[in-house]
A and B are shown apart, each in its own frame.
Chain A
Amino acid sequence: MFPMSLTSRLLLHLANIAVIAFILLPLAAVVIGSIQSEKALQADTRRLMPLEFTLDNFTVIFSKGEQKGRIYEQATYLPDNIKNFYTAFANSTIVAISVTFLTLLFGSLSAYTIARQRFRWTVFLLQANIVARFVPAIVLMIPLYVVMRSLGQLNSLSGVIIAETGFLLPYAILILAPYFDSIPKELEDAARIDGCTRFGAFLRIILPLSTPGLAACGVIMFIISWHELLIPLILNARPDFMTLPVVIASLVGDVHVFFNLMMAICLLALAPTVILVALLQKYVVQGLSIGAVKG
C-alpha cells in the first residue's frame, strides 16, 4: 500500500520465514520421525537430519503387524491397537461422515427458521446455541457415560455419533444461520407466490443456493469430528469401536512403543484432514469466520 524501504522489506521477509518455520516444524518432525528406525534415532541424538529412510513403520501398521520388516524383526511385542489400524480408520470415517451428515441435516432445518422466522423462542434458541457452543466436552462426558452405561450403549459407534452430533450441532447452526440470512428473502417470496410451500421454498430455492455455506459447515464438522478424542475415549473402551484419536491416545505412556511408530500413525491420522483443508481452504476460512462473528 505504501512504499517500503529495503530494510523493512527484508525484515518482513525474515518475519515470514520465522512464521513458516514455526508452522512447518511439527510437520517436519512427524515426517522425519515416521521414516526412522528406533536404532537410528538413538544412534546419534544430536544429528538434525535423518540417518536413514525406511517405510517399515508404515508396513507394520498396514500389514496389521504381520510383516515386521527389518526394524521390527526382533520385536516381541506390538500393541494390539496398532494392529487395529484399519478398524480404527473405518470407525473414524463412519463417525465423521455420519456426524457431518446429521449436523448438516438438523442444523440447516433449524438455522433456516432461526434466520427467517422471528419468534421470540427462535431468538432464544439461537442464544441457547451460542451458549451451548461453549460447553466443554468433559462436563458432558461424565453424565453421558453414566447414562450410556445404564442404557447399555457403551462401546458402540451409534452412541459416539449421537453424542458428537449433539455436541457439534450448536456450532453448525451458528455457521449456517448467518449464511441463510444473507440470501435475499425475495427469492422465497417469489416462489411462495408461485404456490411453493414453506418447506418447498426452503428445499428447492434456499438449499441449492446455499451449497457454499453447507460446504463450509460440512468440512468444519468433518474436521472436528475426525479430531474428537474425549467423547469416543470415554464411551468406547473396546478395540473394535476405537477411532483413530483413541488409538493414538492409547499409545501415550506405552513404554514399548517408540516415537517412530507413533509418528507414522499420527501422520496417517492427520493426512485426511490436511488434504481436506488443502483442497477446501476457501470454505474452511469462510465457515470459521462466519461462525465466530455473524456475517
Chain B
Amino acid sequence: MSAARQDGRRWFRREVSAARFAFLMNLPTMLCLALVLAYPVIYAGYLSVHRVGLAQLRRGEFPFNGYDNFERLFEDRLFWLALKNTFTFTFITVGAEVVLAVLIALLINQSSIWTSRITRVLILLPYAIPPIANGLIWSFIYSFQFGFLNRILFSAGMISEPINWAGNPETALYAVTVPYIWRTLPFAILLVHAALQGIPRELYEQAAVDGATAWQRFWRITLPLLRPIIAVILILRTSFAFAVFEEILAITQGGPGDATWVAAWYSYKITFSPPNNFGMGSASAYVLALLIGAMALVYVRFVYRRVTL
C-alpha cells in the first residue's frame, strides 16, 4: 500500500518530455473520441453497405449488399420529402434567427431603456428548457381544442373558429419552426450581443460628428463589423437545424401524414420502428452527416480562423 503510494508520488514528481506529456494528457480524450465518435462513424459506413435487420442482428451476421441501401434510399419518395422539409425548415429557422438575433441584440444593447435591461436578464431562459419539454409545451400551445394560441386569438377577437396549427399539412412544418427558433435564439443573440460590445464607441461618435443618421450608422458600421459573427451563427445554426429531432417528435411525429418528416426523423423511423432497417437507416444518416460535414469543414477552414493557437 505504502509502496504503491510512493510509486504514485514518484510518477507525479517525475519530469517527462513535452511530447510524452502531451500524449499522456490527451490519451483519455483520444480513447473516448475513438470509441464513441470515430468508430461509430466508420461502423455506420460499414452498416450502410450491408443488409442489417432484426433477424441479422439476432444472428450476428450482416450480409454484404453493396449499394442496395443507397439505391433504395434514393428511390424512396419519403427520403426526398424529408430532405426537402429539412432544407425548408433550416432555411426558415436560420434566416429568422439571424435577423431576429441582430435586432434583439441591438435592442438589449440600449442601456438607457429600462425594459431592455429586463429583456437582457430573460434572454437566456429558453436555453435552459429541455428540447423535448419545449416541444411538448408548444404542442399544448398549438393544441386544436385546448391550446393557448387559439385562446389568445379568441380573447383578442382575431379568430372565431379554432385553428389546427400543427395538425394541418399546410401549416405544420411552419408551426414546428417557431418552437425551434424560440429555443435556439438565445445562443445567436448572445453571440451578436458580445460582438456588439466589442465595437469601439468612437466609431459611432465620429460618424455622428460627420452627420450620419442612425440608419446609416447601422448599415455602414454595425453590420459590416458583425459579419464574422453572423458567419459563425449561420454555420453553427444551419448544421444543428439540419439534425432537428426533438421538436418534431414532440409536436407532430412527422405528421400530419408525412408533412413534417425531416432527415433525422427519417433515419430514426427507418431504423427503430418496424421493419428496423439498420442498413438503410445508416445510409440515410450518412447522407445527413455528409451535408453537415461539409458545413463543418467550411467552419474550420474559413470561420474559426484563429484556430492555430
Name A's B-contacting residues (CB within 8 A).
1-2, 4, 9, 12-13, 15-17, 19-20, 22-30, 32-33, 41-42, 45-48, 105-107, 109-110, 112-115, 117-119, 122-123, 125-140, 142-147, 149-150, 162-163, 165-167, 169-170, 173, 177-178, 181, 197-200, 202, 223, 226-227, 229-230, 234, 244-245, 248-249, 251-253, 259, 262-263, 266, 269-270, 273-274, 276-278, 281, 284-285, 288-289, 292-295
A163–B39 alpha-carbon span in the complex (Å): 12
A22–B229 alpha-carbon span in the complex (Å): 24
Contact A20 B289 (CB under 8 A): no
B3 touches A (CB below 8 Å): no
CB-CB under 8 A from B130, the residues of chain A are 226-227, 229, 244-245, 248, 266, 269-270, 273
Residue from the list A107, A114, A166, A181 in contact with B36, Cβ < 8 A = A166
A226–B132 alpha-carbon span in the complex (Å): 11
CB-CB under 8 A from B96, the residues of chain A are none
14 further A-B pairs in the complex, CB-CB below 8 A; given A112-B25, A142-B271: A12-B113, A17-B115, A33-B137, A42-B145, A123-B307, A126-B307, A134-B299, A135-B292, A144-B36, A169-B29, A199-B12, A199-B16, A223-B128, A293-B191
Residue from the list A113, A131, A200, A263 in contact with B297, Cβ < 8 A = A131
A30–B132 alpha-carbon span in the complex (Å): 13
Contact B36 A109 (CB under 8 A): no
Q: Taking A139-B286, A252-B136 as contacts, is the C-beta distance between A277 and B127 under 8 angstroms?
A: yes
Contact B133 A292 (CB under 8 A): no
Q: Taking A147-B43, A198-B16, A292-B191 as contacts, is the C-beta distance between A229 and B132 under 8 angstroms?
A: yes
Contact A277 B124 (CB under 8 A): yes
Name B's A-contacting residues (CB within 8 A).
12-16, 18-19, 21-22, 25-26, 28-30, 32-33, 35-37, 39-41, 43-44, 46-47, 52, 57, 60, 104, 107, 110, 112-113, 115-116, 118-119, 121-134, 136-141, 143, 145-146, 148, 150-152, 154-155, 162, 179, 182, 187, 190-191, 194, 201, 204, 208, 214, 228-229, 232, 236, 239, 242-243, 245-246, 249-250, 253, 264, 267-268, 271-272, 278, 281-282, 285-286, 288-289, 292-293, 295-297, 299-300, 304, 306-309
Across chains A and B, which 8 residue pairs bring their CB atoms closest together, nearest first?
A: A166-B36, A136-B243, A16-B115, A134-B296, A110-B29, A277-B128, A143-B43, A143-B40
Closest residue to B154 on the A side, CB-wise?
A46
Contact B131 A266 (CB under 8 A): no
Within the complex, the shortest CB–CB distance from B39 to chain A, in Å, comes to 8
Contact A274 B129 (CB under 8 A): yes
Q: Taking A2-B208, A126-B309, A262-B140 as contacts, is the C-beta distance between A139 and B285 under 8 angstroms?
A: yes
A136–B245 alpha-carbon span in the complex (Å): 10
